[in-house]
């Protein structure tokens, strides 16, 4: 039952992310208008917005204009639904809740970074403060962490100065240190850097947002951590 609930929660989050990115691409605020068909712009009823089920029930077509609905949204819904379920395997007794929060926070930062090569300060700092609060509340945050985090902050800031990293990347990496620890942070940097290098080679570019690769590394390490 718990896994089923998490699958529904994950699919809803995947649907929200997909909707958010589409609206940002078309410069439509989330609060401006209720959900609508991308083709005919007809308002959608609540039963047309149920993740996965609505796509299957409507056979992949809008009931108003009968145009095909993109399957990418459903793919995101299934992917995040499965991701949320799998987190329970290595994180028993609700210890996965912090990982769920971090994944939701980082995935939203990823959408913003992909769209604008920048992220909202309110989202960045608000998420960081909430993460520190959760870690402190659950007893995972100690004074020694802050001392070493300051040294880590100064070290990684060198990469910001030479423009290898952005300030948002720096803050996210320091938060990852509190979540994962020093050695897993090094592994995260290795995973994210390798992913970024491969993407730059494939897309033949020297400029890509780095937060998506940090997020991918965090998700991978959260899945493997026990």
Residue pair 39/65 in contact (Cβ under 8 Å)? The answer is yes
| Residue 162, helix vs strand vs coil | coil
Residue pair 81/8 in contact (Cβ under 8 Å)? The answer is yes
pTM of the model: 0.84
Residue 2's DSSP bridge partners are: none
What tens digit of pLDDT does each residue of 79-125 get?
999 999 888 776 666 678 888 999 999 999 999 999 888 888 888 88
150 band by pLDDT with thresholds 50, 70 and 90:
low
Residue pair 210/192 in contact (Cβ under 8 Å)? The answer is yes
Half-sphere exposure of 184 (CA within 13 A, CB side): 18
Residue 68's DSSP bridge partners are: 61
What tens digit of pLDDT does each residue of 20-66 get?
888 888 788 777 777 887 788 788 887 788 888 888 888 888 888 88
| Residue 61, helix vs strand vs coil | strand
Q: What is the DSSP letter of 55?
A: H
Give residue limits of the domains in the chain.
Answer: 1-90, 92-226
Cβ neighbours, 10 Å, residue 49: 14
Q: Look up tokens 């691409």; give the residue.
A: 25
Sign of the dihedral defined by the CA atoms of residues 172, 201, 24, 217, in that order:
negative
Residue pair 10/81 in contact (Cβ under 8 Å)? The answer is yes
């Amino acid at each position: 039952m718990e896994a089923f609930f998490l699958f529904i929660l994950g699919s809803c989050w995947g649907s929200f992310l997909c909707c958010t990115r589409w609206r940002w691409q078309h410069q439509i605020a989330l609060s401006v208008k209720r959900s609508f068909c991308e083709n005919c712009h007809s308002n959608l009823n609540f039963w047309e917005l149920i993740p996965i089920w609505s796509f299957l029930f409507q056979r992949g077509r809008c009931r108003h204009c009968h145009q095909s609905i993109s399957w990418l949204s459903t793919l995101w819904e299934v992917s995040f639904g499965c991701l949320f379920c799998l987190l329970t395997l290595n994180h028993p007794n609700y210890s996965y809740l912090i990982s769920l929060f971090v994944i939701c926070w980082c995935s939203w930062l990823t959408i913003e970074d992909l769209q604008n090569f920048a992220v909202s300060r309110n989202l960045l700092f608000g998420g960081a403060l909430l993460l520190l609060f959760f870690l402190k509340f659950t007893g995972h945050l100690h004074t020694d962490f802050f001392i070493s985090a300051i040294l880590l902050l100064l070290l990684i800031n060198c990469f910001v100065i030479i423009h290898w990293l952005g300030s948002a990347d720096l803050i996210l990496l320091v938060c990852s240190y509190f979540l994962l620890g020093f050695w897993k942070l090094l592994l995260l940097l290795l995973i994210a850097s390798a992913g970024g290098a491969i993407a730059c080679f494939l897309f033949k570019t020297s400029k890509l947002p780095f937060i998506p690769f940090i997020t991918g590394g965090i998700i991978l390490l959260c899945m493997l951590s026990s």
